[in-house]
Amino acid sequence: MSDTPPDKQPEFPRKRFLIVGRAGMDFYPDPPGTRTEEATRFVSCLGGSSANIAVALVKQGCTAALVTRVSDDAIGRYALNQLGHYGVDRRHVSPAGGEARNSLAVVETRVEDHQSVIYRNGAADFAMTTADVEAVDLAPFDALITTGTVFAADPSRTAAFRAFDLARARGLPLIFDIDYRPYSWTSAEFAADVLSRAGEMCDVIVGNDEEFGFMAGAYEKGLEKARTLAKAGKLVVYKMGENGAITFADGGEFRTGIYPTAALKPTGAGDGFMGGLIAALANGHDVKTAVLRGSATAAMVVARVGCAPAMPTTQELEAFLADHPGPTE
């Protein structure tokens, strides 16, 4: 394996991104370390993978707009208010009425025996339609970003593929976080087929070893799946947890380590990695540096409470990199 990063890299000169996917509410037992069943107090944060990525991008100098649905109630309005608080463009976030309910996660700030309980019954974001994405003017954006969750149910799945078609017609790169969540899908076989179809369409694909293995039909085939996707000219990042990542781009591949940290929780790392990676590319860093900045962002997120509020600013990330002894080899 070569450790030489590729010469060619994605460019996002306007630093403007459209993100398709969910925004929700996260509850954290407080103080940190408390088990959910023993909690008497909770703190709330903006959550949802796409919303978290949007916040990460904004905090690191980019502009992000979200297109999704939220419930037409107080919880949906909470998500809208939080998006506004972080500076995410929410003009394309619409209310879903009836029995639709916003995504809710009860997540512990603890690593040992960590518990996360996700409520996705009648999820409002799955009510997103083709009309929602067709109403967006794509001209101002550099790229479209989404996560695998958006493909788990219709009409959201059809709307997301329609967004892909519209973006490709305008020449916008497609950026995809595989983000496989089994509880959202009717079957693993269907999920593998849909996520593989989405991956084939995209220009940048990020996932962990289990997700690539899932798409390939077996864990041991995941690395080859990532390598095969990259042969089509895609930038592919194959994450391996504490073992770092292998990045495939422009015919080459290289390995990077992680930034060890005193983690408070295991959640939010993937969203932080994606946000840090894409922000770094948009800010002119080369691919290898961008991967490392994504890894550093992830390390900072797991050491803080929450997901959206845990995303570091550019200044915080620079301070972390200056003080940290560096990534593992």
- Give the domain ranges of the chain: 16-22+49-66+126-323
d(CA 29, CA 51): 21
Residue with tokens 């969203």: 271
Query: What number is the average pLDDT over the span 40-56?
Result: 97
In this prediction, what percent of the chain has a pLDDT beyond 90? 90
The fold of 16-22+49-66+126-323 is UDP-N-acetylmuramoyl-L-alanine:D-glutamate ligase (3.40.1190)
pLDDT at 1 over 50: no
Q: Are strands 16-20 and 174-177 parallel, antiparallel or unpaired?
A: unpaired
Residue 315: which residues within 8 A CB-CB, separation 6 or more?
A: none
- The DSSP bridge partners found for residue 105 are 26, 118
pLDDT band at 5 (very low <50, low <70, confident <90, very high): very low
pLDDT at 306 over 80: yes
- The DSSP bridge partners found for residue 92 are 67
Token duo for residue 159: 């709307």
pLDDT band at 4 (very low <50, low <70, confident <90, very high): very low
pLDDT at 7 over 60: no
237-254 residue pLDDT tens: 999 999 999 999 988 999
In this prediction, what percent of the chain has a pLDDT beyond 70? 97
Q: 301 near 308, Cβ under 8 Å?
A: no
Query: What number is the average pLDDT over the span 298-323?
Result: 97
pLDDT band at 46 (very low <50, low <70, confident <90, very high): very high
DSSP string, 110-156: -STT--EEEE-TTBGGGG--HHHHHTS--TT-SEEEEEGGGGSSTTH
Determine the pLDDT at residue 250.
Answer: 85
Query: What number is the average pLDDT over the span 2-10?
Result: 53
Q: 66 near 59, Cβ under 8 Å?
A: no
What dihedral do alpha carbons 93, 191, 236, 314 form, nearest 10°? 30
Determine the pLDDT at residue 2.
Answer: 45
3-class secondary structure per residue, 155-212: CHHHHHHHHHHHHHHCCCCEEEECCCCHHHCCCHHHHHHHHHHHHHHCCEEEEEHHHH
Query: What number is the average pLDDT over the span 80-97?
Result: 96
Query: What number is the average pLDDT over the span 305-323?
Result: 97
130-164 residue pLDDT tens: 999 999 999 999 999 999 999 999 999 999 999 99
Residue positions counted in the chain: 329
d(CA 297, CA 295): 5
pLDDT at 22 over 70: yes
pLDDT at 224 over 90: yes
